Amino acid sequence: MRVGIHSVLVIGKVRKALLLVAVLIAIAMLGSDVALSQRSTGPQVPFYTAIDLTPSGFDETLASGVSGEEQVGYGSGPATGFQKHALLWRGSAASVVDLNPSGFDESYASGVCGGQQVGHGSGPVTRDATHALVWRGSAASVVDLHPRSFDGSEIRSTSGGEFVGDGGGPATGGDIHALLWRGSAASVVDLHPHGFVWSRAYGISDGQQVGEGELPTPGPYRNEHALVWRGSAGSVVDLHPRGFIFSSTGGVFGGQTVGSGALEVAGGVGDYHALLWRDSAASMVDLTPTGFRSSAAVATNGEEQVGTRDGHAVLWRGSAASVMDLSAFLPPGFQFSGASSIDANGDIVGFAGPTGGEGETLHAFLWKRNAPRLGTSHEQNTKRC
């Protein structure tokens, strides 16, 4: 699965990077994989169609995961009693399914793959503790994967029937630990590496799990490192690049891992930079072009990467120069945006708002690709996540 993400959802990590931006800059399209800049004497179909997924009865929605014909996220408004509810869409606002289970006050969906939706929720049935949850298309289908001896748990991503996230409680000494599930609460594997203070897992694909962990801090700044695992705590590989104060990974797929890091600069911490790794810390590619301030990459489909750059949702194809501004496809009135996930078809989900100002409500968006990715078929793509 290509979703990452962070805080309450993968979107939290995106917002964390965006808070460093003082001014939102309108970004020009610089390139793409299919000759977007080709001249034509006739009308051209837009490369993406942006679809507002906010249903009637909702004030705010955010989309965090996409796979094939399904999109997930959460929303709130009169329809939910103004509580946040996990939501499932199938390509339109009218298709929305409220996944909030009976006995839960709030819930969030963060990832989707193979007809399964994952996330977390809390309410009277959990004694207000946060529990890791899995659905199969309806609120009634929910399965609680909260492990014993944990106070709280969350699932953030899924692939091939496996789930990753984090949790904490007596079983972890009270610290947050990255977790891997293989289908049941009892199957949970603690991925927390030796020597780290805490850890979280945000993405999973092809037997790899990615996230971050914090080492004891010898100086004034957080010592967070981008991490990748292969199913056990002992398999951890530290991807933290030289010259960065801290780093994190958000998504993994097809041999690519994406995330972000803060540069070390004179006098303190620099801006966030979107990062791409292919196999090692030394393989890191900085996706932030010269002249731009802050960026974060949160998901990949193995060829393309998505995230945010200076307050706009963007798509890359492996280099800083390949960036495409997805806000160009939004309807009038939406200037601030972020991308959360991309699937094998190249469809993207995220959120958008008028300016990104404090207290502003956001709308979930699907950027529907109007042309298939080169060299792949729709049937092949919908089976990959």
Rounded CA-CA distance 235/190 in Å is 12
Helix (H, G, I), strand (E, B) or coil at 134: strand
Instruction: Determine the average pLDDT of the residues in 281-310.
Output: 92
Report domain 10-40+51-374's class.
Answer: mainly beta
**Distance (Å, rounded) from C-alpha 100 to C-alpha 246?**
35
Q: Is the dihedral of CA 104, 107, 111, 117 positive or negative?
A: positive
Q: Are the C-beta atoms of 41 and 107 separated by less than 8 Å?
A: no
How many Å apart are CA 293 and CA 275, to the nearest integer?
14
Range 337-354 burial, b when 16+ CB lie within 10 A, else e: bbbbbbbbbbbbbbbbbe
- For the stretch 252-268, pLDDT in tens is 999 999 999 998 777 67
Question: 173-213, pLDDT tens digit by residue?
Answer: 999 999 999 999 999 999 999 999 999 999 999 999 999 99
103 vs 140: CA distance, rounded Å: 11
What's the one-letter identity of residue 181?
Answer: W
DSSP for 197-228 reads SEEEEEEEETTEEEEEEE---SSSS--EEEEE
Query: CA-to-CA distance for 70 and 83, rounded, in angstroms?
Result: 23
Q: Which residues contact 312 (CB under 8 A, 6 or more apart)?
A: 24, 25, 26, 27, 325, 326, 327, 336, 337
Q: What is the average pLDDT score of the chain?
A: 86
* Confidence bin at 219 (pLDDT 50/70/90): low
Q: H/E element holding 11? A: helix 10-18
Check if the beta carbon of residue 127 is closer than 8 Å to that of residue 153.
Answer: no
User: Would you give the DSSP letter of residue 147?
Assistant: P
317-340: average pLDDT: 96
Q: What does residue 276 show for φ and ψ, rounded to 5 degrees?
A: -130, 130
Helix%, strand%, coil% for the chain, nearest 5? 10, 45, 45
Residue-level pLDDT at 355: 84
∠ CA 356-337-342, rounded to 5°:
150
| The pLDDT value given to residue 43 | 56
pLDDT tops 90 at residue 271: no
Strand order through the sheet with 208-214? 198-205, 208-214, 224-229, 237-238
Q: How many helices (H) and strands (E) does the chain have?
A: 2, 28
pLDDT average, residue stretch 305-317: 96
The answer to whether residue 9 scores a pLDDT higher than 60 is no
pLDDT digits 0-9 by tens, 79-138: 999 999 999 999 999 999 999 999 999 999 999 999 999 999 999 999 999 999 999 999
Answer yes or no: is pLDDT of 157 > 80: yes
Q: Which helix (H) or strand (E) holds 309?
A: strand 305-309
With a cut of 80, say whether residue 53 has pLDDT above it: yes
The predicted model scores a pTM of 0.87
- Give percent of the chain with pLDDT exceeding 70: 84
